[in-house]
Amino acid sequence: MAVIIFEGPDGSGKSTTIEKVSEYLNFPSSHDGGPSRDAEHCRERIDELLRTARQSNAIKDRSTVFSDAIYKETFGKEPFVPYDEVYHRIWQLSGLGAIVVYCRPPMQTLIDNIPLLARAKPHKPPEYAEQLKSLVPTLAQIYDREVMKWSALGLPVIRYDFTENKVEDLLSALGLFWDDHLNYCE
């Protein structure tokens, strides 16, 4: 089974890239549907991701296991699930063949893409884009820090910048990962 989790700040090209990768791999894709309501809801989503990783091929457009704590920290709030618990869940995912594609274009691209959010994401109010615009550098810095931790926990991470790379480059990197993973498991 293979679960690919696309992560990165808003405006990093996740959804557009997922459409192409999902079509090519013929994997279903899904999105958690916005922020978690509370700690229980967040943990339910994390458990669902672990079940999916054990049972099927899938692509996740972001996952609460990664993004909830990052966005809460960016906005100066306490995460529903503390980072220590998040790291434990990431460690569990690393043993299930999951892989993260970290979508991370240059900072200016992220900033330029924020105004598009108000039009493209109906679950986000218009003022969200304006508020996020000033927080993009902080958000990207926290994501960069966390991605290094995920990798240190054994979770494979492929960094993808849609401004420099083609989807074919990403598919090639994913293929190399699975080849290495299958050889390691034999």
Q: Are 133 and 111 in contact (CB under 8 A)?
A: yes
Q: Is 141 helix (H, G, I), strand (E, B) or coil?
A: helix
CB 94 within 8 A of CB 153: yes
Number of H helices and number of E strands within the chain?
7, 5
pLDDT (tens digit, 9 = 90+) per residue, 115-139?
Answer: 776 565 666 676 777 788 889 999 9
Q: Is the pLDDT of residue 178 over 80?
A: no
Q: What's the mean per-residue pLDDT of the chain?
A: 87
Helix ranges (H only) for 6-57 are: 14-25, 39-55
Q: What letter would DSSP give residue 124?
A: S
Kindly list the distances between the CA atom of residue 48 and the CA atoms of 90, 93, 98, 105, in Å, as whole numbers in the listed order.
13, 12, 13, 29
How do the residues of the chain divide into helix, strand and coil, expressed in percent and rounded to 5?
Answer: 60, 10, 30
Would you place residue 41 in the very low, low, confident or very high pLDDT band (cuts 50, 70, 90)?
Answer: very high
Kindly tell me if the per-residue pLDDT of 186 is higher than 60: no
Q: What is the pTM of this model?
A: 0.90
Tokens 């995460």 map to which residue? 79
Per-residue pLDDT of 61-108, as tens digits, reads 998 888 999 999 999 999 999 999 999 999 999 888 899 999 999 999
Q: What's the pLDDT at 153?
A: 92
